[in-house]
Amino acid sequence: MLAFILRRIFQSVIVMLTVALVSFALFRYVGDPVTSMVGQETSLEDRAALRDALGLNDPFFVQFARFLGNAVQGDFGISYRLQEPVMGLILSRLPATLELALISGALAFIFGVGFGVYTALRRRGIISNAIMTLSLIGVSLPTFLIGVLLIWIFAVELQILPSFGRGEVVALPGGWSTGLLTPSGRASLILPAITLGLYQMTLIMRLVRAEMLEVLRADYIRFARARGLSDRAVHFGHALKNTLVPVITITGLQLGSIIAFAIITETVFQWPGVGALFINSVRAVDVPVMAAYLMLIALVFVIINLIVDLLYYAVDPRLRVDRGAGASA
Amino acid sequence: MSEPLLSLRDVVVEFPTRRGVLRALDGISLDVNAGEVLGLVGESGAGKSMIGSAIIGLIAPPGRIASGEIRLSGQRIDNLGPSQMRALRGKRIGMVFQDPLTSLNPLYTIADQLVETIRTHLPVTAAEARAQAIALLDRVGIPAAAQRIDDYPHHFSGGMRQRVVIALALCAQPDLVIADEPTTALDVSVQAQIIDLLKDICAERGAAVVLITHDMGVIAQTADRVAVVYAGRMAEIGPVSDVIHRPAHPYTRGLMGSIPSLREERARLVQIPGAMPRLDAISAGCAFHPRCDVATAACATTRPAMTHLVSAQKGEQSADRFAACLLLDHTAREGGEHGG
Ligand SMILES: Nc1ncnc2c1ncn2[C@@H]1O[C@H](COP(=O)(O)OP(=O)(O)OP(=O)(O)O)[C@@H](O)[C@H]1O
Ligand SMILES: [Mg+2]
């Protein structure tokens, strides 16, 4: 168990180092940092002095090591565009993105599993067919179109939900701002969360359905039925648990993509999160923010991966080797 | 003889398909008496497993019992509603499947699965159910049952898992156990142990067994009576020694003839020349006639009915025998010569 965790952590560190290298290359070689930092009228000597002061003439590895050292301490430099520390910018916007991503991830998981199980159990029902057809639309429509459609229906036509922004937020200790505690914050979350989660939901639903149909054909399900267990016990005890083993992995990875793909949704709904920050930074070639964003997303993926592995481990006893010695009976 | 424990009368199982209706079982009739072991033999695809599925009410949709009746202790069970049928499964009829590696849910401990099954059928507390489960595991030969009960299926070998499966099938004290090739997937060295265990534990509890197998040696040693199935129809049924030594149906004779010596323990069923027809291509008349070496013109047109034969052998229990063959007089006489 411990060896397993250590090995996974080691792999995660390798991944992060690789991303850091890419991120550093971006930071260092896309555009000229000095040009981006100083005004038009700065003299050549001043530029050279600044270049020296910033250590840009040092060997590559020294610079990379310094970049890493700073990154570990959360220092990604100053945003060219906003002239503020990058880390502070990202931290102030992270709660918005994480709240959006977690809520839409939870929605996607709950409804994905629910609909997936339902359509697997009532394979030929009218409602199942309707859900399957709608889900096809869900996967084929681009995210921004879904967002625009939702805005048109619920914000413009029905006027029951806000179309942009995060609503009223409450500051929590630790610098976290939440929209979950105010009615307008919760209302503002609905449309973006649906937009962001719809694709993942259909994905999870189709996965659960396929997996569940497969599991329902398994011998141990037949044997469970032959022992007279109730449909409920067979479907939700025996079948669902086996279905969820592979689903957990996919869902975990989906949560990573949700955070990464929040960019589009945040743009459509003018959601003040890191995705919107990233888009604006790309427009302004604000390289430090881009580099930091890259590392942040990588970190999120790595952490989620780690959690998924541990969950997998908790759900599937076959992966636990602790009692393996008893296997030879 | 009192009323049989289980009785099938002219059971027909059909699968509607796009290209017409397939008859997987066509007029199966057989009885199982309380406490006896009935062997069920026949080539692969003959419908042995289907008979088991029909009895326990688990035919895969869209398959269904189209006609005939199945009675358990005189009560019809082929037309019960889902919840009534569920109450019988496990409680009155236990089932053991072929592959113990896939019969157990990998994500639950043995204790979880046993306790759940016991508590589904018997009004006991979790602690009582657990105590029963440990006693049962001990009885089926799991060493250190009290400790092993909390292990997961993957901690056990194939033979041990089949013992657990038997415990699961028997944990609510059924009167009838259907064992569908319970040893086919196992190592040869443990096959005999599992069969012995199944036979002994069912005998102790007075449970009857329907034993589906390809192994004539097992049938000879274990079963009281044997039924031979061909292409979804009954070929022959009768006491084991009669059927083995004096087969009445040419197909049975082929099956027995393909065994080098019946005294040899582990003789396996060898195929007769030709193959069993597909379900959509069963010829008119007797289903076996295209492969039969004594078939006459009538065999191609007239379907033989199950006919009562009386065994007149001295020194043996006189029990009912039935066979479905137009040439029964001929074969019976031949059989008689064989035995005498
Ligand atoms: N779902 C199904 N749809 C159509 N036909 C089926 C279905 N299931 C089984 N059958 C047919 O029913 C017949 C009987 O099958 P069954 O599994 O009972 O054979 P078996 O005697 O148990 O063979 P084996 O020795 O290989 O286990 C076969 O011809 C099979 O093709
Ligand atoms: Mg079979």
Nearest by CB to B168, which of A227, A315, A326?
A: A227
Q: Which residue is closest to B56 within chain A, CA to CA?
A: A226
A293: CB partners within 8 A, 6+ apart: A90, A274, A277, A278, A281
* Backbone phi, psi, residue B151, to 5°: -80, 160
For chain A, the domain total comes to: 1
Q: Is residue A149 assigned to a domain?
A: yes
Q: Is residue A196 assigned to a domain?
A: yes
Shortest Cα distance, chain A CAs vs residue B113, angstroms = 9
Q: Which domain holds residue A139?
A: 96-271
B176-180 vs B93-96, strand pairing mode = parallel
pLDDT truncated to tens, each residue of chain A (329 aa)? 778 788 888 988 999 999 999 888 887 777 777 777 777 777 888 888 878 877 778 888 888 888 889 888 888 888 888 888 988 889 888 889 989 999 999 999 999 999 999 999 998 889 998 998 888 887 888 888 888 898 899 988 888 888 888 888 888 887 788 888 888 888 889 899 999 998 889 989 999 999 999 999 999 999 999 999 999 999 999 999 999 888 888 888 788 888 888 888 998 898 998 988 998 888 888 888 888 998 988 998 898 888 888 887 777 887 776 544 443 33
Separation between Cα atoms, residue A164 and residue B114, nearest integer Å: 55
The ligand placed nearest to the CA atom of residue B24 is: 1
B225-230 vs B37-41, strand pairing mode = parallel
H helices present in chain A, as ranges: 2-29, 33-37, 44-53, 60-72, 86-121, 126-140, 143-150, 183-216, 219-226, 231-232, 240-268, 274-283, 287-315
Q: Is residue A88 assigned to a domain?
A: no
* Backbone phi, psi, residue B253, to 5°: -60, -40
Average pLDDT over chain B, rounded to whole? 87
- Residue nearest ligand 1's atom 1 by CA: B60
- Residue nearest ligand 1's atom 4 by CA: B15
Q: Do B56 and A327 touch (CB under 8 A)?
A: no
Q: Is residue A50 assigned to a domain?
A: no
Cβ under 8 Å to A: B residues 210-229? none
Q: For chain B, which domains are there?
A: 6-223 (3.40.50.300), 238-336 (no CATH)
pLDDT, tens digit, 9 for 90 and up, residues B5-21: 999 999 999 999 888 89
Shortest Cα distance, chain A CAs vs residue B231, angstroms = 24
Q: Is residue A133 assigned to a domain?
A: yes
Q: Is residue A120 assigned to a domain?
A: yes
Residue A247, domain CATH: 1.10.3720.10
Q: Ligand 2 center to residue B44 CA distance, Å?
A: 7
Q: Which residue is closest to A322 within chain B, CA to CA?
A: B155
Check whether B211 has a pLDDT greater than 50. yes
Q: Ligand 1 center to residue B324 CA distance, Å?
A: 21
Q: Is residue A310 assigned to a domain?
A: no
The CB of B233 under 6 Å from ligand 1? The reply is no
B44: left (phi over 0), alpha (psi -120 to 50) or beta: beta
Q: Is residue A313 assigned to a domain?
A: no
